[in-house]
Amino acid sequence: MTGEGLMVKRKVPFELYDINILASKDEDLKRISSDMSLGLSLDEMKVIKGYFEKEGRNPTDIELQALGQAWSEHCCYKSSKSILRQFVFGIDREDVLSRGDAGVMVFDDKHGYALRAESHNHPSAIEPYGGAATGVGGILRDVVCMGAQPIGLADPLCFGPIDTAADLPPGVKHPRYLLGGAISGIRDYGNRCGIPTVTGGLFFDERYIGNCLVNVGCFGIVKREELLRNFAGGPGEVMILIGGRTGRDGIHGVNFASQDLTATSDDDSRGAVQLGDPITKEPVIHACLKVNEQKLITGMKDLGGGGLSCVVGEMALAGGCGADVDMEKVPLKEEGLAPWEIWVSESQERMMCTCKPENVEKILEIFEMWDVSATPIAKTTDSERMRLFWKGEKVFEMDLEFLTGGPLYDRPYTLPKVSTKKDEVFPDLPGNNEVILSLLSDLNIASREWAIRQYDHEVRGATAIRPMVGKLNMTGPGDAAILMPVRGSMKGLAVTTGCNPWFTALDPYKGGMSSMDEACRNIVAVGARPNAITDCLNFGNPEKPERLGEFREAVRGIGDFAKGLGIPIPSGNVSLYNEGSGGVSVLPTPMIVGCGLIDDTRKAVTADLKKEGSTIFLVGKTLDEMGGSLLFRKYGGSGGDVPGVDIERLKETMDKLLEAMDKKLVLSCHDCSDGGLAVSMAEMCISGDIGAEIDIQAEGPDMKRALYSESNSRWLVEVDEKNAASFKDIMKGYAVKIGRTGGNALSIPKAGVSISVKDMRKAWSDPIWKIMGGSNQ
Amino acid sequence: MAIIDIRIDLKKGVADPEGSNTKKTLESLGFKGVADVKTAKVFEVTLDMPAEEAKKVGEEMCRKLLANPVIQNFSVTVR
Amino acid sequence: MEDHGGIQPMRPEDVKVCVLTIEGTNCEDEMADAFRAVGAQAEKVHLKQLIGKTPPETRKDLEDYDILALPGGFSAGDYIRAGAILAARIRSSIGKEVERFVDDGRPVLGVCNGFQILVELGLLPAFDETMSKTATAALYTNDSGRFECRPTVLRNDNRGKCIFTSSIEKGRTLVMPIAHAEGKLLSLDPNFVQRLEDNDQIVFRYVKEDGSKAEYPWNPNGTESDIAGICNPAGNVMGMMPHPERVITRLTHSDWTRNCRSMEGDGLPIFRSVVQKIR
């Protein structure tokens, strides 16, 4: 604890300290911040000192702790906000219904759909099972507090190579252990809550060894008349704390999330990892939706980072009022918590709602029915100040504007040097048969079935297109999943994930664009129109100019794409300080979770080849863009142009392809991404259990680029021979016939390729099973 | 006050996939000589009654809820 | 035409279904919707409403229902053993009423976790009495040791006793998803399968797509004789691991984009069978 003289215990029958910052010099201020784990800089401490000088008194320990939470990167986005504001905020469209804890878009005349993604990186690096599970819990709450029923989960994950034999830095756990734990955590939590996990991604790279990324996304459906706000309706309302009890778990989670991981994080930070309880969550969802349906509440918000300290202030301030809190009423897991611990605890499964006093009783009755604890703990006031009382003693009184305002920084950044064709070194390659098989068995391509089948992806009985598609028990990778959230309606919500961290590392602007392109082309591949995205931006330490430069450029790329295509981003999340011990930053990872709409799900398309003798088209243009490609990573190439996006061209291609799908001209469709055209074609053969003969007009190195370049905005499309001409008519110059389906091998005579579908399936299916244990046979 | 440990394990002949998977994983981590891994579940129950009675009550708990006689054995020991 | 004994079948819209929930059950919405899809009235009822632990105006009586459905999920977290806690709670509260309900010939359906509950509750296999005092079978961890979510193909092997397959011809195959970690049906009785067979208690078996004998992954959990669903000796209680309520329309089948014979899902006939047979 802090040195003598600075902390004065108040003479009350509980633990409360007044912190003498008015008399503190710079050194003392720094020490207070570090001793109390506030995570605040000296400048920030000075601003706080100035505030309390005006108030004419010293702060209590609770007040300082609350500021530490509210002013953390995680809560107030102090390093990222100015960049986000410049490039991605405010991309508007009339069908954005809300930009609350989750974004909400128009689904149909009566319904909206909610979307939101979030990172749970640091806790998962320490304790992957609990970290990932509570990540799912948090994202479900974000959707529920819009009044929406969660309908699907997304789980993009990034780990070190799970077969790495490298000596791991001290304190770093083996990626195989981390992956196993994270998948189990998502499985147990998602499955038990009864929400299908329908999309995601697994990304493996050395640079995730020291700091894995666990991102989770959630989608929901809400009747538009039941759409909920995340703040109080005004003064004179009651705040009811719902769900789990408050304990010491998760104390200082946000500060932990806003620092790099170090070798000792393990021992220091276990307290910052929370334990989840899906069987509390499930009835919490039921009960919360019920009280909203009966119009008993005015607002709802989840207790995430910062716990009570953030949620009470934000709900009051946004509702134009203040709050008086009776802290003794907060139900506790254990006795003996100091008031400040209660105030900042991040215990799971808690939500807050606001209501008119006359509705309190009815609300409590509904929660009682579900055995969910619900306790009125605060009242909103007309003061714009928050006051906390403990056993009659006022322990906290602050201006809400000041508390939740937080600092904003324009930190210095340097623009990264980007990879170009000029410095391209094209690697030596073995024969194309060997290349294709080895790309198929690369960890970043190989079948994710080991993970996917552990998730219930069809609970709720509304999953029309699954993450894996094709013949029963012979499935291959799909592009996007489709949910049919409104019973009796054919309208579908397509959901997917897009990200290319390798492109982003070599050219952050194009990487941001490419990640958006991937999400959009996945959605188009199933026959849906991209509608909105949410993102989870995982980057390194923003206090390092080159890291912040990567962030800025990637965000600019995302923004340009979104504006160009008219895609709103109604919610988003930023996770900075993703660096392992030794300061190795993760690959810059702009994870995009995309949503699309399809009016008639019966017209949806999947990636598996459907029959022999149909025509295969390549839609979109292959360019000499080898930078960051899987081929280069695998065979030691370097440099090269990173794939860019021609928005106008994408728009036209997309419109035409969707028109052809709407006319039922498309039998199957798959996007070209990692591994290029060759890998995409192989995947379509695997899931359809049908071969294909491909004829590409190219020679020498041009042939290799045609096969393995990862140019954006491309799809492979199977069209019934009798419809080939009509398809061509619609697509104009945007589609080129490249072959036909049939036989039991993929053959590309001009490239010397001939591989049986069986061999491709084996190469693709086995690798992750082999490492993680078990088998699909 | 008595504390009892209730141990639920699998009957002989009932396959133990969790145990055998754990064994495989331990071997893959380089542990040598792992002959067998079995899983069991332990409940620690504190009862406000004399030890002898607690043992009987514990056994009743197993029969009524904690064990499925088709696949599981139980044993109750008083601390 | 069988003899109705003068009692006419009920009209589907008069059939009342109780879909039982507690914390952790999570397939109740689709279960209720499945019954509604064949015209019945389905109501989600919390166990507390049946045992008088809620305000009087929300209480329900099992007597008032014609069908009891136990949906899937993780009732009470599946702690201890899958289904054990809810089974113990039912037994200690409305055990007698449930037994009477079954003795009355009224249908009871348990899917996935619901099947696990029926076994823990002694309503299945129930060789010797309506509801055995302790479980006489178990649904145990899959051979793979993992939770698995995948499509399976089922063959109706029931010779006519089970009310839930009354309109499904014997030998017909149906595609339905499974999603469970504990689905391996076990008994210590060496003649278990034979007894089930003799009593016509086997309802569904896992088979390959062409109808031939299943092996993993077609039999996803390793159950002996590929058993996916069984009924009681009277044929009015059925438990099954696969989820018929998830495939009411063809659009939620896993391979409908390549295989779309009709828009009707393979789960629908089960609900239609039972609702048509209620009298």
Ordered by where they begin, the domains of chain B are 2-16+38-78 (3.30.1280.10)
- What is the pTM for the complete model shown? 0.94
Segment A667-682, tens digit of pLDDT: 999 999 999 999 999 9
Residue A1 confidence (pLDDT): 43
Closest Cβ opposite residue C217 in set A279, A455, A473: A473
Fold of the A7-74 domain: Helicase, Ruva Protein; domain 3 (1.10.8)
Segment C190-244, tens digit of pLDDT: 999 999 999 999 999 999 999 999 999 999 999 999 999 999 999 999 999 999 9
Comparing alpha-carbon positions, the chain A residue that sits nearest to C250 is A464
Report CA dihedral (A708, A710, A712, A716) to the nearest 10 degrees. 40
Query: Which chain B positions have a beta carbon within 8 Å of C138's beta carbon?
Result: 68, 70-71
Please give the interface size between B and C, counted as residue pairs whose CB atoms are below 8 Å apart.
Answer: 38
What are the structure tokens assigned to A68, written together?
């530490």
In chain A, CATH 3.90.650.10 covers 607-772
| Active-site entry in C112, C148, C162, C182 | C112
Side-chain-side CA neighbours of A531 within 13 Å: the count stands at 27
- Using H for helix, E for strand and C for coil, what is the string for chain C? CCCCCCCCCCCHHHCEEEEEECCCECCHHHHHHHHHHCCCEEEEEEHHHHCCCCCHHHCCCHHHCCEEEECCECHHHHCCCCCHHHHHHHHHHHHHHHHHHHHCCCCEEEECHHHHHHHHCCCCCCCCCCCCCCCCCEEEECCCCCCEEEEEEEEECCCCCCHHHCCCCCCCEEEEEEEECEEEEECCCCCHHHHHHHCCCEEEEEECCCCCECCCCCCCCCCHHHEEEEECCCCCEEEECCCHHHCCEHHHCCCCCCCCCCCECCCHHHHHHHHHHCC
Give me the helices (H) in A674-756, please. 676-688, 700-708, 724-731
A:591-630 residues touching chain C, CB 8 A cutoff:
601-602, 604-606, 608, 610
Task: Report the pLDDT averaged over residues C9-26.
Answer: 92
For A191-195, A259-263, A322-326, A362-366, which range has the lowest pLDDT when averaged over its residues?
A259-263
CA angle A164, A167, A171 (to 5 degrees): 105
DSSP classification of residue A319: T
Comparing alpha-carbon positions, the chain C residue that sits nearest to A487 is C33
Q: Across A328-467, where does the E strand assignment appear?
A: 350-355, 374-381, 385-390, 393-399, 463-465
Identify the band that residue A523 occupies on the pLDDT scale cut at 50, 70 and 90: very high
pLDDT at A263 over 70: no
Q: Chain A interface, mutation test: which of C74, C254, C266, most A Cβ atoms within 10 Å?
A: C254
pLDDT at C1 over 70: no
Q: Chain C interface, mutation test: which of A221, A275, A282, most C Cβ atoms within 10 Å?
A: A282
Query: Which chain C positions have a beta carbon within 8 Å of A484's beta carbon?
Result: 251-252
C148 in active site = no
Residue A278 confidence (pLDDT): 65
Identify the band that residue C246 occupies on the pLDDT scale cut at 50, 70 and 90: very high
Residue A701 confidence (pLDDT): 82
Q: Does C43 reach chain A within 8 Å, measured CB to CB?
A: no
B:14-73 residues touching chain A, CB 8 A cutoff:
21, 24-25, 28
Nearest Cα neighbor of A222 from A317, A130, A293 is A293
φ, ψ for residue A440, nearest 5 deg: -65, -30
Q: Which CATH superfamily, name and number, covers A607-772? A: PurM-like C-terminal domain (3.90.650.10)
pLDDT at A308 over 80: yes
A174 in active site = no
Segment C98-156, tens digit of pLDDT: 999 999 999 999 999 999 999 999 999 999 999 999 999 999 999 998 999 999 999 99
Write down the residue that tokens 């939706």 correspond to.
A289
Residue C2 confidence (pLDDT): 47
- SS3 assignment, position A725: helix
**Which residue has better confidence, A613 or A131?**
A613
Query: Which chain C positions have a beta carbon within 8 Å of A457's beta carbon?
Result: 149
Tell me the β-bridge partners of C186: C138
pLDDT at A253 over 80: no
pLDDT at A251 over 80: no
Under an 8 A CB cutoff, do A194 and C73 touch? yes
CA angle A501, A504, A509 (to 5 degrees): 150
Nearest Cα neighbor of C64 from C17, C10, C22 is C17
Contact A340, A395 (CB under 8 A): no
Q: From residue A176, how far is each of A209, A654, C98 by CA, in Å?
A: 10, 39, 48
Ordered by where they begin, the domains of chain C are 12-277 (3.40.50.880)
Q: Chain C interface, mutation test: which of B7, B71, B72, B73, most C Cβ atoms within 10 Å?
A: B71
| Active-site entry in A111, A120, A122, A670 | A120
Residue A244 confidence (pLDDT): 85
Q: From residue C246, how far is each of A690, C77, C178, C252 by CA, in Å?
A: 29, 21, 10, 7
Please give the interface size between A and C, counted as residue pairs whose CB atoms are below 8 Å apart.
Answer: 122
Segment A319-337, tens digit of pLDDT: 999 999 999 999 998 888 8
Mean pLDDT value across chain A: 93
Segment A129-169, tens digit of pLDDT: 888 998 999 999 999 999 999 999 999 999 999 999 888 88
Residue B17 confidence (pLDDT): 82
In chain A, CATH 1.10.8.750 covers 7-74
C253 in active site = no
Model ipTM value: 0.95
CB atoms within 10 A of CB A655: 14
Segment C164-205, tens digit of pLDDT: 999 999 999 999 999 999 999 999 889 999 999 999 999 999
